[in-house]
Each structure stands twice: as structure tokens, then as C-alpha cells.
Amino acid sequence: MKERMDEIRELAEILKKSENIVFFGGAGVSTESGIPDFRSADGLWNEKLKIKCTPEQLVSHTFYMKYPEEFFEFYKSKLLYPDAKPNDAHKALARLEQMGKLKAVVTQNIDGLHQAAGSQTVYELHGSVLRNYCEKCHKFFDEKYILDSEGIPICDECGGRVKPDVVLYEEGLDQDIINASVRAIAAADTLIIGGTSLVVYPAAGLVEYFRGDNLVLINKSVTSEDRNADLVIHDSIGRVLSEAMQYIISI
């Protein structure tokens, strides 16, 4: 097994020689900013409904339509973290983009932290909590409007229900975002997969379009793509990317 510094050095060399890097990330990127994976939340027993729901059920289209009040109770408490800040992973990726090496971030996260760190080309597969829209008049609202609302958020102009611009379970991904992500991954010479166990489909299936030279996987746990990767590092995504960037700068 390679020594950790050898892994960091190898990653730095890959980043240094690459000209078209794409990063594909999941919940593990955001957990280092204090945002837990909502799927790790306990299922909730609802006294009024007399049912026990899993986190996935609570953020499904069916639950949103059938029990909107309970949906927003869970959504506000488990998916909104307005005080979260970009961590070392977000910052390193933004720096790589500024250097002209990173061409796109494809993320399963909905927190907007990549953009907050300075990344410009970000494909949000599952939408963003920062965008919310009235289902009747389509007026847009920010995250604070949702947090400040009592119960179900209502449009201040037409009275319609305000829905988060996130992809709920049972809803399809935005085809334009998928197509842009596929094009970016297919054109990359290096694909870095970070902070994801690659179990959420169809998003995880996008990595199959990679045909480049270097497949790098950085995740704390083993994934289904470990055997196919050119470099696998089981460690904190923020720590690894930060140390690799420091190594690049020093050489």
C-alpha cells in the first residue's frame, strides 16, 4: 500500500499535468462544512399521520404533495444550513478552476458551497436550496424566505405554494444539466470523484462516460469504482485536495 505522502504527491503530479479536470462530488464534500448527509437522519414517527417515514420518503415527491406541512418541517430542519461555509475541498477546486485546469464541478449537493468558494462552472444535478419558486406565478425566493416562513411557505404575491428548486425522490433530473455534465465528463483528461459512495442513481452513472487518462477517487470508504481508478485515496476530501494544492504550489 502506498504511503499517504506518496498518494498526495501522485495526485499533485496528476493535477499538475492535467489540462481538463472535472470533479464529481457528493455528500462527503459538504459534511466537512458541517452539513450532514440527510440520509443519515433517523426516520421520523409522525404522531398526526401515525406513520414512520425514512429520510428518503420524507423528501419524495409523493410526500411533498400529500403531506406538505410535514415535508417542510423535515426540509427546514435537515436540509437547510445557512451558516455553512466552504471548506478546504471547495476552496481547492475553485483554485484549480482559477488556474485554468478544472473545467467543471458536477455535484449531487444542493447547498451552493462550490459557488460560494468561487467556482464558476457548477452543474447541480439535484438543484439548490438557494433557489425556490412559486408553483403558481413562478416568482423566485431565496433560502431565508423559506427559513422565515411558518409551516408551508406561501408566495407573497399570489398566495401559491413555494417549492424548493431541488430534485425530490421520484422526480427526474434536469436533462440540460445531465447533458452538460456528460459532455464535461466525456471531454475530461482527469476525473476526480470525491466524497461520494456512488450509490445514488442516475447521478452516479454519469462517471461511466469518462474516457480520459486519470480516474482519481477520494473517499473515506470503499466504493464500487475503486477497482477501476488509477489512484484511490481513502481520506478526507478537504485534507487531500488542500495538501495536493500545497504540493503543487511548492514545486
Catalytic annotation, residues: 126
Placement of cell 492535467 in the chain: 18
Is residue 112 within 8 A of residue 165, CB to CB? The reply is no
The rounded distance, in Å, linking the Cα atoms of 150 and 34 is 25
Crossing angle of the two packed helices 237-250 and 88-98, in degrees rounded to 10: 40
Q: Nearest CA to 96 among 123, 116, 125, 121?
A: 121
Q: Compute the Cα dihedral for 184, 220, 199, 37 and give only its sign.
A: negative
Residues with Cβ within 8 Å of 164's Cβ and at least 6 positions away in sequence, in order, are 75, 127, 129, 131, 132, 146
C-alpha cell at 174: 434536469
The rounded distance, in Å, linking the Cα atoms of 30 and 51 is 30
C-alpha pair distances (Å), 181 with each of 87, 90, 123, 195, 234: 23, 18, 7, 17, 25
**What is the DSSP code (8-state) at residue 224?**
T
Percent helix, percent strand, percent coil in the chain, to nearest 5: 40, 20, 40
